[in-house]
Amino acid sequence: MTHIKFYSVCSALIVLFLSSCKESDYRVNSAFADYLQRFEDEGATRGHTFDFKSSGLVIEFGNLDNDVAGLTHYENPIRIQIDKTYWDDISKTAGADMMKEDLIFHELGHGVLGRKHLNTTLENGDWKSIMCGGDKVNNRSWNINYRGERRKYYLDELFDESTVAPDFSSFDLIADTTGYTPVLQRNFSTADQAIWKLMDTVTYKTSLDNGRLCFQSKVDQVYFVYATLSTAINIQSDFSYEMTFQYPTGNATNQYGLIFGTSGNEATEYFSIDNNQNMYMGNRSWYSFFTQLAESSINPTNINKLKVFKIGSFLYYFINNVYCYQSEIVANTNLNQFGFMVPPQSSVWIDNLQISQKTSSKVSSMLKQNIQIESGLKTVPAFNQKSVNQ
């Protein structure tokens, strides 16, 4: 069985070396200067004062082996190496600034703050600290959702390990998920309900099976199967999107789930699960998924209902009606594509597609009557599921 390939990087390995540098040696590549200044500024607001030009510090590019992204050498002064290939790779993607900051701050955490790896989690499953790393925990990636409201917490914790758990880490849902009216519904009981044409091609097959749509992939890539709406969902409005899935056979690490975005734009939001009871979320414009969470509410090989609410600037994720996570949305333009992802060489059954908006019943009725749907699909090579190891 061919499956999605995972790439790994390492952003923090600590190696002890005898020093051959002078204590006052200060050499920081210009690519890292802004991030070092940020580290000094963030530390100053939290009671930490640094004078690296006097005490010495070296941050330089290197060609690190074994997919290592960053390496801290305990020399005098501290010397940090950043893998040039990894730096260049993330530079080509959205979110690069935060990923670079995370990497540099992690290494400075080791070399300057004396922090060791910390592999505990918050209530919602987020890593407790950007200092997570080292030996894998339950084979989980070290990807951290380091952005938005989470950034402040992670910086507080970096400089003070006793920082109190943040509000976003709670499983208490404070958002209002009531008052949503359906604008598009499909139960796939008939060909008219199917949205996507029922056909058998050399690359895929679509068919109805006991009131569900079955999509069978025949290729070694991920399929994005989507419907383009003639009336886009205003990005400023609140909406929900849900569907039921079943992926009964195939590699348990393969991901399947919801996608939504804008036609012709690679910045597609996704919410996926696998049959190892893991959940992922992210945006295709980024280098990798935001984080990986273990979710016991997932029914491996059985039917799972995925639902996401967009409320304000946040997305709220539900699996089988259980609230799991919240995170800021990346997309900033109106959304007109909604669909699902299918793993390589796999069959996925879907049902009960529904898109709803928090609008007046009158407006919702007009949207429902005027909306037209155009089906589409495309294959996506190496779907961005790169996992980060530290």
Q: Give residue 211's pLDDT band: very low, low, confident or very high (50, 70, 90).
A: very high
Across residues 376-383, what is the average pLDDT?
82
pLDDT of 21 > 50? The answer is no
Quote the pLDDT of residue 385. Answer: 62
| Antiparallel, parallel or unpaired: β 26-28 and 57-62 | parallel
The string of pLDDT tens digits covering residues 69-91 is 899 999 999 999 999 999 999 99
Predicted confidence (pLDDT) at residue 99 exceeds the cutoff of 90:
yes
**pLDDT tens-digit map of 221-244:** 999 999 999 988 989 999 999 999
Specify whether the CB–CB gap between 250 and 346 falls below 8 A: yes
Whether pLDDT at 380 is above 90:
no
287, 295 Cβ separation under 8 angstroms: no
Dist. CA 290–CA 385, nearest whole Å? 9
pLDDT at 20 over 50: no
Q: How confident is the prediction for the chain on average, in pLDDT?
A: 89
DSSP per residue, 154-178: HHHHHH-TTPPPPGGG-S---S---
pLDDT of residue 278: 96
- Side-chain half-sphere exposure of 268, counting CA atoms within 13 A: 25
| Cα 36 from Cα 14, distance rounded (Å) | 19
> What is residue 65's predicted lDDT score, i.e. its pLDDT?
85
In terms of DSSP H, where are the helices of the chain?
30-44, 52-55, 84-91, 96-111, 148-159, 361-370
Q: Is the pLDDT of residue 255 over 70?
A: yes
**Domains, the chain, ranges and CATH?**
8-169 (no CATH), 181-389 (2.60.120.560)
Question: In this predicted model, what pLDDT tens digit does every residue of 155-208 receive, in sequence order?
Answer: 999 999 999 999 999 999 989 999 999 999 999 999 988 999 999 999 999 999
Least confident of 57-71, 111-125, 201-215, 232-246: 57-71
User: What's the CA gap between 27 and 331, in Å, rounded?
Assistant: 38
* Banded model confidence at residue 68, pLDDT cuts 50, 70, 90: confident
Which tens digit of pLDDT belongs to each residue from 264-319? 666 899 999 999 999 999 999 999 999 999 999 999 999 999 999 999 999 999 99
> pLDDT above 90 covers what percent of the chain?
79
